[in-house]
A and B are shown apart, each in its own frame.
Chain A
């Protein structure tokens, strides 16, 4: 079989080559740009319960700079280098398509019926008569003499086709050719078309082409892939730079237990990160820290205002990353300091001190506030407007009104009940997987005392879905609106993060994961004091939050004590810190079975009669299911080993080097 290369001599197929190459590169680049552009932050529509003030409505001094920084961040996502490449690439593709694309001719496809212009259902007689008629028109002897040579050639080619078509429909040999090879003349040559001109491949430029390919595949490709790979490797899964994560881990791994960790310590660590280093240019770390401290005091930093805002907005994702890493180390002190810093960043107020609840309000005079004794929003809202103005140091009545409005609408949590639950059970049995159910009321700081809520209103029915996924109810309420954070350049979501710690050593439980309370009804904030106290069924909304216990319940019976932290990310004073107890009850003894066993014992010493299905072994699957259900399980001989293993989950031996007392 002859195989030959047909090159693009007529200069009409190379555009397709170029087009194919272009599209091959443009599609992923476009996809990537598009995905990045639409992954913008949270929307800013007004949601029930949101505090509607932002930097514009409060007319802050640095409003314009805040807008600028926000706009820059948004624009950076859409208008960047990628967009230029995308636009140019597709423009080029369009140009080539329009200018060079020609009609594709499907040579080689032979349809005799179309050539003879007869329906597919024509009979032999019809075919014959049609052929006769066409020959009369197209036969070389029959065509006119005064036609151009070109037209004559076309007619000749058409006549050959007609002949072939007629033969294909009547002659046996031709028919078979048509069936086998798709062409009445029999096997055609197999031609390979190469869409670039011959001189590039076989002429003097062939060396150049080989060199080009070599460079492309041997040099450019590894370089591009390597570059992309190292960029991928440069950030951790959570989006912070690997070096930053590494520096956090270094600090946390060799933490000195003798030092008090304040939010400023955490701030120092974060300002060392790679991201902040990129932002600060030729300013020193101390100068950047001073900028941040001015931000906390709500003082303007003059010409550096934009830089300050950019640094501050970079602090948030770094803090989130830090908290995630620190959570794995299980020691709460650094994490609580980090949360305080996070709140301070949101509200532009100091992270330390006793008056933070008041200092987070807008328009307050920090010096006045810190010099007096009212410390909490609850107390502030019991005062008359005049007194409140004195406390906050606000003399303008409009500003005071806004400040008090904000104070009233910050959501506080009032816990009604917090207890552990095993899905499908009434009590907690050893080794079960449990979760913590927190029942609470959202209230405003203006509402006092607590309504009497009947216990019955707490209990909810457990459906099959609840058994499969007990945390399902966390997603049912509406999502919390964006946080009130007018001084912060950007929109932030509001949420509480839940942690469970052991009371015995004040460390988080092994394997603690983030439990976010993001969906909560905020209707209670609008209640009056009277409605609140009455506590009527459909007026006051009871909210539920479930936290999964990351480790199974301890295998021994008894009481265990834990502590639940719910830390809010944006508001001071709205945290929850309560003790929660867990009572692990023994698997209930079935009286009938005991009697039976006792009865059997009288007859024969072996209590395992062949008729009884004895309890499943402990470490079989049946045993595990039975344990979950609370039924009897035959303890395996390694019971002791299992117990001690599980013990260590909960009673972490404090391997802190300072006090290895070896008790």
Chain B
């Protein structure tokens, strides 16, 4: 009785069936992975960057456009030095960010290793590093447009400006600090300290 059933059950399967099956599965997986990667990438670049928006690039590009835009009126166009100033500031911000990233390298690695942060922010950190690299290259390129020898004098100057600006920021914030400290210590000036 077993033989009869077996004879009845011979099904015609063509040679192509397994091949088609494999092809369909592989295509499905490939499409899925491509979509997924794209989705993750979109999410990544849309999330807040580590440092907040980089205004210096915007300012520089706006100024540069205006400077080179010959159709604008005379008083609309900024002087060349303004554009250079903007480029310098852009470089200063890039240097500041690079230094901050370098300073925090071990911190991020340790945080990630100990599982205290998620994948997203760590990937963002790595991405930020790469962005800074690209940014620096762009700045060098822009710099060369002005004059061929400027790049070598440019970065030392930018570094000095970076430190000097940081110092000024600290100096200028002293009043605000004073207020905060008074609040923290409940130290009321009119009661004890002479004005």
Contacts and interface: CB of A to CB of B under 8 A. Distances in A.
Direct A–B touching, Cβ under 8 Å: yes
Interface of A: 2-4, 233, 236-238, 242-243, 245-246, 249-250, 253-254, 257-260, 262, 321, 324-325, 328-330, 352-354, 370, 510-511, 655-660
Given A254-B51, A329-B107, A242 B120 contact: yes
B164 to A, nearest CB: 10
Nearest to B180: A260
B22 interface: no
B100 A242 contact: no
B170 A237 contact: no
Contacts of A237: 114-116
Interface of B: 2-3, 5, 48, 50-52, 96, 99-100, 102-104, 106-108, 110-111, 114-121, 124, 162-163, 166-167, 169-170, 173, 176-177, 180-181, 183-186
Given A260-B180, A328-B111, A655-B99, A245 B116 contact: yes
Contact of B48 (A2, A236, A250, A655): A250
A658 B116 contact: no
Contacts of B166: 657-659
A660 B50 contact: no
A4 B5 contact: yes
**DSSP class of B's interface residues: helix, strand, loop or mixed?**
helix
Given A254-B50, A258-B177, A659-B166, A325 B116 contact: yes
List the 8 closest A-B pairs by CB distance, nearest first.
A242-B118, A237-B115, A658-B166, A246-B121, A258-B173, A2-B2, A260-B180, A655-B103
Contacts of A243: 118, 120
Contact of A246 (B3, B120, B180): B120
B177 A656 contact: no
A500 B114 CA distance: 20
Given A254-B51, A262-B183, A659 B116 contact: no
A370 B187 CA distance: 11
Nearest to B25: A218
Nearest to B9: A202
B117 A259 contact: no
Contacts of B173: 258-259
A328 B102 contact: no
Contacts of B185: 352-354
A242 B124 CA distance: 13
A511 B107 CA distance: 9
Contact of B100 (A236, A254, A260, A353): A254
B116 A236 contact: yes
Nearest to B166: A658
A572 B9 CA distance: 84
B166 to A, nearest CB: 4
Choose among A253, A254, A370, A656 the residue with the greatest number of B CB atoms under 10 Å from its CB. A253
A245 B121 contact: yes
A250 B124 CA distance: 10
Choose among A4, A246, A257, A370 the residue with the greatest number of B CB atoms under 10 Å from its CB. A246
